[in-house]
Amino acid sequence: MNSWLKDHEKQLKKLFTFLNENNAFYKTIFETQKIDLSAPIEEIFYRLPIITKKEVRQHYEDYISNMPVPTFSELTSGSTGIPVKCVKTNSERTKLGLNVWQQRARWDSEVSLENYIYLYDVSTYKKIGNILNFEIENMKVCFKKLLALKPRWISGPISSFERYAKCIEMGEIEYTPGIIKYLELFGEYATQEQRAYVERIFEAKTINHYGTIESWCFAYECPSGHLHVQNNLFFAEQLPTQNKLGESVGEIVLTSLFNKAMPLIRYNLQDLGEISDVACECGQTSQVIRLAGGRTGDIIKGTDDVLGELFFKRGIYKVIQNFGDCILGYHVDQMAVNTFVISIEKGKGYNSQAELILKNHIVRGLGKDVEVIFKYVDILKPLQSGKMKIFTSHVKDK
Ligand SMILES: [Zn+2]
């Protein structure tokens, strides 16, 4: 018997009853599956289908509940295909907002709306300009304006923090180490090396915030280093995957207790990771997630188990070990099973030997027959969300 389901039986049944009355998609499922909403919760829950973004897109009209309250919508990032408009009511947004602020307060009793800045907020954009434009003159101006706001906490993707850290390290941007105390990492997977680097340059602590546009903050790192599922609102399941990343790794599926406007019930995020129950020193008893560093769609086509983003990050790391931090940005496109185009934004000290190192890395990892094409670009742009996508496969599944 799953204890989370049991403990939240009342809330889940209330949610299912609501959906039965106000959501055409779930009403149809309850009817066609002949689900009795008065049955024990486990009997109901595990008969509900696993949903992906694809189903939401296909049945969008039915999937959004009929609710007489103002709703708020955001588009999911286009990086995984056609975006979907995600709907939340004001009360859902408030609840989610309060929840994440409670997590921040666990780390820092001084954090507040006055000293916290989310880099990609429209209001931030109005105050400091486009911090995502990585031309050096623009970066200098934006960062100066950012510091003038006296931020104690900054939230954004690791790639942006790295970008600014490199300029600080090279003396191109002024920063007094330690002024910013916390860097909340949101939107991208961050490796230990990346975290250690930005922590050293900023003299700030990094914290992982795992969330999506659909759910907002779903899990948050505690001071003991565990990514805890916000179990007052969410429940996580782990599905087996088709690949060979190791038996312990699977796709992460979430259920939200309170999202009514756009329900998230057994919703497959398609991020790869491992869920466990850990008796954590921090006192939280919720499920803990370890992310594997990619999504099902990020696996390099033609391989069973190689995650594009991590694989190419490692290759770039080899270049950095040889020639210093000479690559400002990069992106890899897989054009055919054995053809890769690497776009590179060169930094100071870039050496054409880097091509050889990267090519060797790819040949060693993927096989002899690969063709690697190098392209040099002026500035690589992040996605609208601020995320820097490292790997895109254009090879279609058969
Ligand atoms: Zn903990």
Burial class, 323, CB count within 10 angstroms (exposed 0-12 / middle 13-18 / buried 19+)? middle
Mean pLDDT, residues 268-288 taken together = 91
In a domain, 29, yes or no: no
CATH code: domain of residue 293: 3.40.50.12780
Q: Which amino acid is at 149?
A: L
State the distance from the centre of ligand 1 to the C-alpha of 210, rounded, in angstroms.
14
68-77, 135-144, 165-174, 273-282: segment of lowest average pLDDT = 68-77
CB 173 within 8 A of CB 292: no
Show which of 297, 327, 357 is a domain's final residue: 297
Q: How much is the average pLDDT of 326-355?
A: 90
Helix extents (H) in 191-279 = 192-202
**What is the whole-number distance in angstroms between the Cα of residue 282 and the centre of ligand 1?**
4
Please report the pLDDT score of residue 77 as a whole number.
Answer: 57
pLDDT of res. 341: 95
Tell me, in angstroms, the distance from the centre of ligand 1 to residue 284's CA: 5
CA 315, chain centre distance (Å):
22
CA of 278 to the centre of ligand 1 (A): 8
Measured CA to CA, the distance from residue 88 to residue 167 in angstroms comes to 38
CB distance 119 to 140 below 8 Å = no
Please tell me the distance between residue 8's alpha carbon and the centre of ligand 1 in angstroms. Answer: 21
CATH number at residue 315: 3.30.70.2210
Q: 351 and 247 in one domain?
A: no
320 and 273 within one domain: no
> Could you tell me the distance, in angstroms and rounded to a whole number, from the CA of residue 241 to the centre of ligand 1?
27
Instruction: Using DSSP bridges, classify how beta strands 391-393 and 234-240 pair: parallel, antiparallel or unpaired.
Output: unpaired
**Would 386 be classed as within a structural domain?**
yes
Final residue belonging to a domain, choices 270, 297, 324: 297
Residues 6+ apart with CB under 8 A from 167: 136, 139, 140, 143, 173
Quick check: helix, strand or coil at residue 221? strand
| pLDDT of 228 over the 60 cut | yes
* Structural domain harbouring 126: 50-297
Is the pLDDT at 78 greater than 50, yes or no? Answer: no
Counting every residue written for the chain, the total comes to: 398
Q: Is the pLDDT of residue 389 over 50?
A: yes
Q: How far is the CA of 281 from the centre of ligand 1 (A)?
A: 6
Q: Mean pLDDT check: name the lowest of 23-37, 165-179, 206-220, 365-379.
A: 365-379
| Three-state secondary-structure class, residue 218 | strand
Residues 219 and 312 in one domain: no
Q: What is the DSSP letter of 78?
A: G
**Ligand 1 center to 219 CA (angstroms):** 11
Residue 318 pLDDT exceeds 70: yes
Residues 170, 286 within the same domain: yes
The answer to the question of residue 8 being in a domain is no
For residue 376, the cross-strand partners are: 344
pLDDT attached to residue 79: 44
283 Cα: distance to centroid of ligand 1 (angstroms): 6
Distance 35 CA to ligand 1 centre (A): 37
Residue 378 lies in a domain: yes
Instruction: Assign 1 a pLDDT band (cuts: 50, 70, 90).
Output: low
20 assigned to some structural domain: no
Last residue in a domain, options 246, 263, 297: 297
Flag whether 14 is in a domain: no
What's the gap in Å between 277 CA and the centre of ligand 1? 11
- 25-48 tens-digit pLDDT: 999 999 999 999 999 999 999 999
Q: 224, 206, 97: which is closest to 157 by C-alpha?
A: 206
Q: Assess whether 250 and 337 both reside in one domain.
A: no
Q: What is the mean pLDDT of residues 181-191?
A: 91
pLDDT above 70: residue 235: yes
Same domain, 280 and 368: no
Q: Is residue 150 part of a domain?
A: yes
**DSSP element (H, E) containing 43:** helix 41-45
Tokens of 49: 């289908």
| Number of domains the chain is built from | 2
Question: Quick one: average pLDDT of 307-330?
Answer: 84
Confidence of residue 352 (pLDDT cuts 50, 70, 90): confident
**Is the same domain home to 362 and 239?**
no
Which of 387, 345, 344, 391 has its CA nearest to residue 366?
A: 391
Q: Is the domain of 315 the same as that of 237?
A: no
Q: Measured in angstroms, how far is the CA atom of residue 100 from the centroid of ligand 1?
A: 15
Q: Return all residues near 22 (Cβ < 8 A) that are at least 6 apart.
A: 65, 66, 67, 260
Nearest to 67 by CA among 316, 263, 244, 255: 263
User: Cα–chain-centroid distance for residue 150?
Assistant: 26
Three-state SS for 23?
coil
* Beta strand pairing call for 182-186 and 205-212: parallel
Q: Same domain for 347 and 251?
A: no
CA distance 241 to 83: 24
The neighbourhood of ligand 1, an ion, using CB within 5 A, equals: 222, 224, 226, 280, 282, 284
Q: Does 380 score more than 60 pLDDT?
A: yes
One domain, residues 265 and 377: no
The CB-side HSE value for 222 (13 A sphere, CA atoms) comes to 19
Average model confidence (pLDDT) across the chain: 89
Q: For residue 386, name the pLDDT band (cuts at 50, 70, 90).
A: low
Has residue 209 been placed in a domain?
yes
225/340 same-domain check: no
Distance (angstroms) between ligand 1 centre and the Cα of 212 equals: 21
Residue 243 confidence (pLDDT) = 55
User: End-to-end distance of the chain based on CA atoms, in angstroms?
Assistant: 39
User: In what order do the strands lie in the sheet containing 182-186?
Assistant: 116-118, 153-156, 182-186, 205-212, 216-221, 227-229, 287-295, 267-277, 250-256, 234-240
- Taking alpha carbons only, the member of 286, 273, 187, 174 closest to residue 229 is 286
Q: Are residues 316 and 258 in the same domain?
A: no
Give 279 Cα–ligand 1 centroid separation in angstroms.
8
Q: Give the three-class secondary structure for 280.
A: coil
Query: Which has more confidence, 296 or 259?
Result: 259
